[in-house]
Amino acid sequence: MRILVVGAGVIGSVYAGKLLTAGHEVVLLARGRRLADLQASGLILEEAQAGKRTAQPVTAVSALDSADRYDLVLVPVRSEQLTSTLPVLSSMRDGSDVLFFGNTAGRQAQLVEALGSRVLFGFPAAGGTREGSVVRYVLISQQQTMLGEPMARATNGRVAIPAETSSAAWTRSRPRAVAAVISRAMGSSVVTVMRVSHAATGNTATAVTP
């Protein structure tokens, strides 16, 4: 699978590294000093608890080519940066799924309006710090990686779960396919798949078994 990671902070770097190790083709969209570090030294990750450090060659770019095609776009940026990613994401014509990976509270409707059915939402199970070119991280065992697709309907503050939620079609749904990719990369099956309401009544979700 060809995967674009928009933003090379801690979360973007950790998941990019895991996806690279799992055999996927990963491209990091970065800028400034971080871009220069990635191009010069590769992606350097250090597992904080074990002290194990890895360095992987990775493709890092400052802009996308109009001919680029991806299967999945991972967007692990801060909430206040989400809007700034929309021009780039809207310009892509490859039909790729776009997984916003972090706090999207209050912004989900805007993201869905801009990108439509391409949008998925998620929350990572990792944290850490970046010191120069090195990202030191921990995987949070008490927290599962969360993935979900937007569900626009809500009634009287309660989510209206579509009838197909428990059907075979849902089993083969996009969130589950993406969950499989990420869970294998992270070496774990603890990825919870959810349907998320982005209606004004709130961010309600119903979990299903991944």
User: What are 38-54's pLDDT values in tens digits?
Assistant: 999 999 999 998 889 99
Model pLDDT, residue 194: 56
Angle between helices 10-21 and 174-186 (to 10 degrees): 80
CA–CA separation, 67 vs 122, rounded Å?
27
H/E element, 67: none
The total of other beta-carbon atoms located within 10 Å of residue 157's CB is: 11
User: Which DSSP symbol is given to 142?
Assistant: T
pLDDT at 20 over 70: yes
Sequence-ordered strand ranges (E) for the chain: 2-6, 25-29, 43-47, 52-56, 59-61, 72-75, 97-101, 119-123, 126-131, 134-139, 145-151, 154-155, 158-159, 191-197, 205-208
Model pLDDT, residue 197: 53
User: Which DSSP symbol is given to 141?
Assistant: T
Model pLDDT, residue 9: 95
More confident residue, 146 or 44: 44
Model pLDDT, residue 144: 67
Model pLDDT, residue 164: 39
Could you tell me the strand order of the sheet in which 43-47 lies? 52-56, 43-47, 134-139, 126-131
> Going from the N-terminus, what domains does the chain have, and what CATH number goes with each?
2-208 (3.40.50.720)
Could you tell me the strand order of the sheet in which 25-29 lies? 59-61, 25-29, 2-6, 72-75, 97-101, 119-123, 145-151, 191-197, 205-208
CA–CA separation, 14 vs 182, rounded Å?
12
Ramachandran class of 153: left when φ > 0, alpha when ψ lies in -120 to 50, beta otherwise: beta
